[in-house]
Amino acid sequence: MKHLLKLMDLSAKEISEILNLADQLKFEKKNGIKHPLLEGKTLGMIFEKSSTRTRVSFETGMYDLGGMALFLSSRDLQIGRGEPVEDTARVLSRYLDGIMIRTFDQKEVEDLAKYGSIPVINGLTDYCHPCQVLADLMTIREYKDGISGNKLCYIGDGNNMTNSLIVGGIKMGMEVSVACPEGYRPDAEIMQWAEKNGKFTCTDDVLKAAEGADVLYTDVWASMGQEAEAEARKKIFKGYQINAEVMGVAKSDAIVLHCLPAHREEEITAEVFEAHANEIFDEAENRLHAQKAVLVKCLSK
């Protein structure tokens, strides 16, 4: 695997291999077994948006693997002053062994990979969040003893998370249902692909989508970059919430996941969040293990 730009680029087999390696790295870390698989390697991490989990898990992950990570805020890089991505890619390729980037436009990530000569890992764009969904699939596998055959229901804004969850869920044999208001649906091409390649539905009926679900998932109503729309979105998304009523129509042993950060009483009630905090924080922990697996797959040659 050269890059991780989006989950659509990976086969189910490649996703399973990443998850298997992530399980192994998690077991080794928990048991104090060192695994310096990236000794001497350097990862540059470009951030054009805020981050807690992605930044800290990539940085710690590189350290665990015997390498090091450089935090590169776009506020300080010349890219933030307009240096073309083609040039940034070619320069960073001379210094680093890999780049992780969090930015707005998916094209910027694809261009870094196109013009550079080192692996590029997508740490979130407006279009998708592949690293998060690998951790989500890892968590589902831990709680459900497998992924295929489970029903995943996403409630809320059809955003970067939704796009990646649909692709990852369908590729791994899950039934995926999405409840989004009209006008805030996931990417049209991804939905068409999902309809052709698996069991997929998109509705504005939250309870219908959640019926019989094994996994319930939600994310913020206003993503990074949409702060100005936050108040308007509160009205549009009212009711697109994981709450006791939604839990009541899902399977009795349904798990709840959230990529975080969470807005209690908006997309999820505080009650449901706290009742499912174990799953949600295992999911956050799994970012570390899943991304270490991605780093090993991309950077160790």
Binding site for ligand NVA (CB under 6 A): 124, 159-161, 219-220, 223-224, 259
Active-site residue among 3, 53, 55, 102?
A: 102
Question: Distance between CA atoms of 127 and 94, rounded to whole angstroms?
Answer: 28
Does residue 132 touch ligand CP according to CB under 6 A?
yes
Q: Which listed residue (53, 55, 129, 233) is catalytic?
A: 129
The minimum distance between CB 15 and ligand CP, in angstroms, equals 18
Of 246, 249, 268, 245, the C-alpha closest to 157 is 268
For ligand CP, how many residues bind (rule: CB under 6 A)?
Answer: 8
Cβ atoms within 10 A of the Cβ of 115, count?
15
- Which residue among 241, 259, 276, 289 is the active-site one? 259
State yes or no: is 219 an active-site residue.
yes
DSSP at 79: G
Considering beta carbons, is residue 45 or 220 the nearer one to ligand NVA? 220
Among this protein's residues, is 180 annotated catalytic?
no
Long-range contacts of 201-206, Cβ-Cβ distance < 8 Å, separation of 24 or more: 201/176, 201/177, 202/158, 202/177, 202/178, 203/177, 203/178, 203/179, 204/179, 204/180, 205/179, 206/155, 206/179, 206/239, 206/240, 206/241, 206/246
Q: Which is nearer to ligand CP, 54 or 93 (CB)?
A: 54
Q: Which of 70, 77, 249, 260 binds ligand CP (CB under 6 A)?
A: 260
CB of 282 to ligand NVA, least distance (A): 17
Nearest CB to ligand CP, comparing residues 70 and 260:
260
Sequence-distant (≥ 6) Cβ neighbours of residue 250 within 8 angstroms: 153, 210, 211, 212, 213, 214, 216
For this structure, is 141 an active site residue?
no
SS3 228: helix
Residue nearest to ligand NVA (CB): 223
Strand partners, 155: 179, 218
Per the annotation, the verdict on 258 as an active-site residue is no
102 catalytically annotated = yes
Cβ of residue 132: shortest distance to ligand CP, in angstroms?
A: 5
**90 is a catalytic site residue:** no
Q: How far is the CB of 40 from ligand NVA (least distance, A)?
A: 31
Just list the catalytic residues.
Answer: 102, 129, 132, 219, 259, 287
